[in-house]
């Protein structure tokens, strides 16, 4: 099994305030690094592990086998967290954890097509059952569509040049070919930057393929009603768009009143549902970044159901 380092592990465990008899959800199971530590802290409690990657479920089943019926694994999408819990007849849980990053095994498995560091088929699907892959996005979406996702999802300042180059180069079959096209579109100064020139484009395409931002919005709206009073929601994000969604959702749960500012009292009926545990995102320590450079961009936000 590939080596996987769980990001912000201690911080997540502290944030969830795990009780031995509590019910918890790991909605992005991955290779079960966070999940195994949660399960260790349960006695009569229960952990629900969810992932849309069948390979992750298989690997997690082996890793978590020792915990027996304390753990239930679900091959599903975290955007459907509400219906998944309803199907399991679990009305409320004591804590939920979501790690929105691509797991190290997914990045390191060349055949999955997530990495710009090798040459592999263009795929990037987190759920292999999905129809849309990076190949379709790169080879069938219009130049304007490509430019939009590069701007919006990758914050790529050379989006017009890269989109034009991709549209002109079709058909592009592998990650290596895509990297070459991206490089050809960028000015020499950009190629000398420390960051890999394809990083933002690959991020944008991956987000589009997996509808990651829509999934995060659906997850947040479905998760909060299934949190018990005092239950904790912990979300790790890896880029500014996701973090903004999480931050905004927490703020909406705290201060979602729609009344005009000059109204003396609230008349819209808003009732707070969340309270941020800390105003600023929790970041990895310098020691963690040194051990696991992929954690550098991680941000953890935590809220409590009230």
What is the DSSP code string of 188-221? HHHHTSSS-TTHHHHHHHHHHHHTHHHHHHHHHH
Domain boundary pick from 163, 192, 211: 211
* Alpha carbon distance 296, 148 (integer Å): 26
81 plus 21 within the same structural domain? yes
State yes or no: pLDDT of 211 exceeds 70. Answer: yes
> Residue 4: what pLDDT?
63
Identify the domain containing residue 156 by its residue range: 108-211
Confidence tier at 11 by pLDDT (50, 70, 90)? very high
Instruction: Report the CATH number that the domain containing residue 285 is assigned in CATH.
Output: 3.40.50.150
Provide the domain count of the chain.
2
29 plus 94 within the same structural domain? yes
Confidence tier at 256 by pLDDT (50, 70, 90)? confident
75-128 confidence digits (pLDDT tens)? 999 999 999 999 999 999 999 999 998 877 777 787 899 999 989 999 999 998
> Residue 259: what pLDDT?
83
> Residue 3: what pLDDT?
53
123 plus 248 within the same structural domain? no
Q: What is the residue-wise DSSP string for 179-197?
A: HHHHHHHS-HHHHTSSS-T
Within-domain flag for 247: yes
% of residues, the chain, pLDDT over 70: 99
State yes or no: pLDDT of 2 exceeds 60. Answer: no
146-176 confidence digits (pLDDT tens)? 999 999 999 999 999 999 999 999 999 999 9
Instruction: Report the CATH number that the domain containing residue 156 is assigned in CATH.
Output: 1.10.150.170
Domain boundary pick from 211, 242, 260: 211
């Amino acid at each position: 099994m590939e080596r996987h380092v769980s990001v912000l592990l201690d911080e997540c465990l502290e944030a969830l305030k795990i009780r031995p008899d509590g019910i918890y959800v790991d909605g992005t199971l991955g290779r079960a690094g966070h999940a195994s530590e949660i399960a260790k802290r349960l006695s009569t409690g229960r952990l629900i592990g969810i992932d849309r990657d069948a390979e992750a479920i298989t690997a997690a089943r082996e890793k978590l086998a020792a915990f027996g019926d304390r753990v239930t694994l679900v091959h599903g999408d975290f955007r459907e967290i509400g219906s998944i819990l309803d199907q399991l007849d679990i009305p409320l849980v004591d804590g939920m954890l979501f790690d929105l990053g691509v797991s190290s095994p997914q990045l390191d498995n060349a055949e999955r097509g997530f990495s710009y560091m090798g040459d592999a088929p263009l795929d990037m699907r987190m759920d292999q059952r999905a129809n849309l892959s990076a190949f379709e996005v790169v080879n069938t979406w219009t130049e304007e569509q490509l430019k939009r996702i590069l701007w919006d999802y990758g914050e790529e300042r050379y989006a017009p040049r890269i989109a034009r180059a991709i549209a002109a180069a079709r058909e592009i079959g592998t990650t290596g070919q895509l990297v070459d096209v991206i490089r050809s579109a960028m000015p020499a100064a950009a190629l000398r930057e420390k960051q890999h020139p394809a990083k933002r484009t690959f991020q944008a395409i991956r987000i589009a393929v997996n509808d990651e931002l829509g999934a995060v919005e659906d997850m947040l709206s479905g998760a909060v009603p299934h949190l018990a009073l005092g239950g904790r929601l912990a979300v790790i994000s890896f880029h500014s768009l996701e973090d903004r969604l999480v931050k905004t959702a927490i703020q909406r749960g705290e201060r979602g009143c729609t009344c005009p500012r000059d109204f003396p009292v609230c008349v819209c009926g808003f009732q707070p549902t969340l309270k941020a545990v800390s105003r600023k995102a929790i970041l990895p320590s310098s020691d963690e970044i040194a051990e696991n450079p992929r954690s550098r961009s991680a941000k953890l936000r935590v809220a409590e159901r009230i």
